[in-house]
Amino acid sequence: MSNVFKYCDARGVDILRNLELKITPPNQLNDVFEFSPHVICSAPRRMAKDALRDKATVRESYHEDKRSGFFVGTEREYRRFWKSRRKTLLTPLAGGIVEKLPAVQASFARLQSRYGGVLCLTSNPDSAVMWSHYADQHRGIVVEFDSSWPLFAAGKGLRPVDYVRERPRWDEAAAEGSEAEKAQFDAVIFHKNKEWSYESESRQLFLLHGLKRSPLDNGREGYFLSIRAEIIISVRLGMRCDPETVAKTRDALKTPSLSHVALKKAMPNDKEFSMTTVDLKV
Host domain of residue 89: 39-108
pLDDT digits (tens, 9 = 90+) for 106-142: 999 999 999 999 999 999 999 999 999 999 999 999 9
DSSP 3-state percent helix, strand, coil across the chain (nearest 5):
40, 25, 30
- Are 160 and 78 within one domain? no
- Are 121 and 198 within one domain? yes
Q: Is the pLDDT of residue 27 over 70?
A: yes
Q: Is the pLDDT of residue 89 over 90?
A: no
Other residues' Cβ atoms within 10 Å of the Cβ of residue 56 = 8
Of the listed ranges 83-92, 161-170, 248-257, the least confidently predicted one is: 83-92
* More reliable by pLDDT, 201 or 67: 201
pTM above the 0.75 mark? yes
CA distance 196 to 190: 12
E strands along 83-200, which residues?
A: 116-122, 141-145, 159-160, 162-164, 169-171, 191-193
Q: Is the pLDDT of residue 1 over 80?
A: no
CA distance 171 to 42: 7
Q: 128 with 275: CB under 8 angstroms?
A: yes
- Are 13 and 60 within one domain? no
- Are 122 and 170 within one domain? yes
Q: 100 with 94: CB under 8 angstroms?
A: no
Last-in-domain residue among 108, 124, 139:
108
- Are 253 and 157 within one domain? yes
Residue 171 DSSP label: E
Of the listed ranges 34-48, 61-75, 154-168, 181-195, the least confidently predicted one is: 61-75
Task: Classify burial at 124, counting beta carbons within 10 Å of its beta carbon; exposed 0-12, middle 13-18, buried 19 or more.
Answer: middle
* Count of domains for the chain: 2
Q: 141 with 245: CB under 8 angstroms?
A: yes
Q: Collect all residues with Cβ–Cβ distance below 8 Å to 180 and sequence separation of at least 6.
A: 171, 174
pLDDT digits (tens, 9 = 90+) for 219-273: 889 999 999 999 999 999 999 999 999 999 999 999 999 999 999 999 999 999 9
CA distance 48 to 68: 23
Of the listed ranges 60-64, 166-170, 235-239, the least confidently predicted one is: 60-64
- Are 161 and 193 within one domain? yes
- pLDDT of 81 reads 87
- Mapped onto helix, strand or coil, the DSSP state of residue 123 is coil
Nearest of 43, 42, 61 to residue 52 by alpha carbon: 61
Q: Is the pLDDT of residue 87 over 90?
A: no
Q: 37 with 187: CB under 8 angstroms?
A: yes
Q: What is the dihedral of CA 157, 158, 164, 167, to 10 degrees?
A: 50
Of the listed ranges 17-26, 58-67, 117-126, 255-264, the least confidently predicted one is: 58-67
